[in-house]
Amino acid sequence: MDYLQPERLLSLLMGEKAKEYIAQAGHKTLTVIRLNPLKAKSENILSLLEEEGFKLIPLSFYPFAYQLEYEPFPVSKSLAHFAGLIYLQDPSSMLPALVLSPQPGETVLDLTAAPGSKTTLMATLMENEGVLVACDNSGKRLRALSFNLERWGVINTGWMRILGEQVGNLFFETFDKVLVDPPCTALGTLHKSPEILRWWKEGKVIKLARIQERLLISGLKALKPGGVLVYSTCTLTPHENEGVIQAILERYPVEIETIFLPKGFNRTPGLTSFLNFKFSSEMEKTIRLYPLANLGEGFFIANLRKKESFRGPLKTKELIKEEWYHYEKFKEITALSEHFRFDPHIFVQKRFFLNNHIRLATQALAEFSSPIPLQKGISFARPMGKKWRLTTNGITWLAPFITQNRIELDRMSLRGLISGHNLPAPSGHEGQQLLTYHECPLGYGWVKNGFLVSQLPARSVIV
């Protein structure tokens, strides 16, 4: 099957453009970021980036997406990136979450979530409300997912370590919407992953297609009847795209729905045939995004509707019970509200879980029952005797509500703190302080005996 060799396959799919695309392998084409509206206003984040020397172009398909026209240094080393105010993500990679369009109050599954680019975007689209469950089976990737969720300030999301193939039976017909973005040969990402051309093997394509099909079946089992599942890959091989969807159409009561893409993308309908392979005419409702024809990398997206209930599992597993508490149980919340002067009623629809770190989650997520351990929300505070000391992620989540004991830094004081120097504190400040720059929350410091001591772990940040 020589057509499964990448050069031959790309030629069949892209024609003369294939040579140009292969020539791009290893050459970064653009940097795109999205802003974090959960932490700060867009104008403040943009002001911070512009002061750092970045030149940005707004992108029409998503109001918080920007292309970097000029980078004085890698944006990954910027203060905005350190503070969780931006996320680097390819434009095409944002589309599956935008197509799924999860809403506040819904119960949503991200079946293969790590490292969290699509998960954090979905949490943003859900306005940090409802329930979002993120799954992966790699410990290393889950650590990246946990870090990104905490840094993004996501309190409506829980993550678990689990084989994706098991999720459908354990959470049978639980979710309103599901995203399945499985491992793939990533042929649409040659610009940043040229090694694909070296390790590519025909057998790997076939093996991944089987894994993708099993994951898609699991996602459909976890989906409620009438619910929507988006399947996406960053590869171009028909085996991993139309071939997987065709196998599902032939065996399960699902239908393909039309995808309405935002402006700025040149869509190509999914294939109804490829060489000797024949696919359903409905496959034209899926979309292919080819490199060079679009701003981002190559992608395939299918939007599936589950028409009726599936046969359920023979056995169910007992649900784990956890005690999450209302804020009124804690005098520490009153003390925090007095220190930072915020209305404690902001926690009415939130819940707290006590262990070595006090965790914060939405009420809906706290009440969501799981048969296996689910790490919910963010690390909000640590107990210090009879008081709570906010974590960096806790204080930056709380930042929009804090009106007292917050210090807006200028550039000189910011540099001093990051360099490890203690600075004279403004009068009237004592104890833990929210530190902001351009009104964007960075973390916290501590005022004692008239001096501000930084707790910003940012020595590698360029300022």
113 contacts 141 by C-beta, under 8 angstroms: no
Side chain identity, residue 453: V
As a whole number of angstroms, the longest Cα–Cα distance in the chain is 78
Task: Return phi, psi of residue 438, to 5°.
Answer: 55, 35
| Helix runs in 225-378, H state only | 242-249, 331-340, 363-366
Query: For each of the chain's 463 residues, which pLDDT tens digit applies?
Result: 667 788 999 999 999 999 999 998 888 778 999 999 999 999 999 999 999 999 999 999 999 999 999 999 999 999 999 999 999 999 999 999 999 999 999 999 999 999 999 999 999 999 999 999 999 998 889 999 999 999 999 999 999 999 999 999 999 999 999 999 999 999 999 988 889 888 888 899 999 999 999 999 999 999 999 999 999 999 999 999 999 999 999 999 999 999 998 888 999 999 999 999 999 999 999 999 999 898 899 999 999 999 999 998 888 888 888 999 999 999 999 999 999 999 999 999 999 999 889 999 999 999 999 999 999 999 999 998 888 999 999 999 999 999 999 999 999 999 998 888 899 999 999 999 999 999 999 999 999 999 999 888 655 677 6
Q: Which of 406, 399, 455 is nearest to 426 (CA)?
A: 406
187 contacts 19 by C-beta, under 8 angstroms: no
Strand partners, 446: 432, 453
Query: What gap in Å lies between CA 359 and CA 381, rounded to an integer?
Result: 7
Per-residue pLDDT, 362: 98
| pTM of structure | 0.96
Catalytic residue set = 234
Could you tell me which residues come within 8 angstroms of residue 310 by beta carbon, excluding any fewer than 6 positions away? 172, 173, 220, 221, 252, 253
| Helix runs in 33-90, H state only | 42-51, 79-82
Query: What gap in Å lies between CA 421 and CA 415, rounded to an integer?
Result: 9
Q: Which of 402, 397, 407 is nearest to 445 (CA)?
A: 407
